[in-house]
């Protein structure tokens, strides 16, 4: 049986601001109305990050809009959400973040077989000149594609 995969949101800014070293998939502990909002795609990953605290990983700064029909059962849009990972993975991530200066950044949010998952990246911040290099490369590739398209 093939995995059922439904894309929810991307954090495009993360690839611009960070060098992505490694990615890992994690589950998220959500409330009922949060799941309904996610199914409608009402989420923003910009400026979000994950932090290891007391042997657990928590997701900070993810804005999931309140569900319109949720009334009193609605959640706080910016509440801190627990990520579901194995202890071994959490220890490895905590060591990398502490020793090597990495940051945990959510890149993607999606449903996989009906469960909400987040793709976390172990990332290092880019310097300003790295960002300029990335922009210059992207622009050069775009111009090359346009030039090839005009010739054909």
- Domain contains 100: yes
Please report, for the domain that includes residue 64, its CATH number: 2.40.280.10
What CA dihedral angle connects 25, 26, 31 and 33, to 10 degrees? Answer: -10
Its pTM surpasses 0.85: no
- pLDDT 10s digits, 69-84: 877 778 788 999 999 9
CA contacts within 13 A on the Cβ side of 39: 11
Most confident of 2-11, 24-33, 120-129, 130-139: 24-33
Model confidence pLDDT, tens digit, residues 120-136:
999 888 787 777 888 88
Q: How far apart are CA 81 and CA 77, in angstroms?
A: 11
Structural domain boundaries, residue 79: 5-126
Residue 119 placed within a domain: yes
Residue 132 in any domain: the answer is: no
């Amino acid at each position: 049986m093939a995995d059922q995969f439904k894309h929810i949101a991307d954090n495009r800014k993360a690839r611009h601001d960070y060098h992505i070293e490694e990615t890992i998939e994690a589950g998220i502990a959500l409330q009922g109305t949060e799941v309904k909002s996610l199914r409608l795609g009402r989420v923003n990953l910009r400026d979000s990050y994950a932090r290891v605290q007391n042997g657990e990983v928590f997701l900070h700064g993810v804005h999931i809009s309140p569900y319109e029909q949720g009334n009193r059962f609605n959640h706080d849009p910016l509440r801190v959400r627990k990520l579901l990972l194995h202890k071994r993975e959490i220890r490895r991530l905590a060591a990398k973040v502490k020793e090597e200066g990495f940051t945990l950044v959510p890149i993607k949010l999606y449903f996989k077989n009906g469960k909400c998952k987040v793709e976390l990246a172990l990332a290092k911040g880019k310097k300003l000149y790295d960002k300029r290099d990335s922009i210059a490369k992207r622009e050069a590739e775009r111009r090359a594609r346009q030039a090839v398209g005009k010739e054909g």
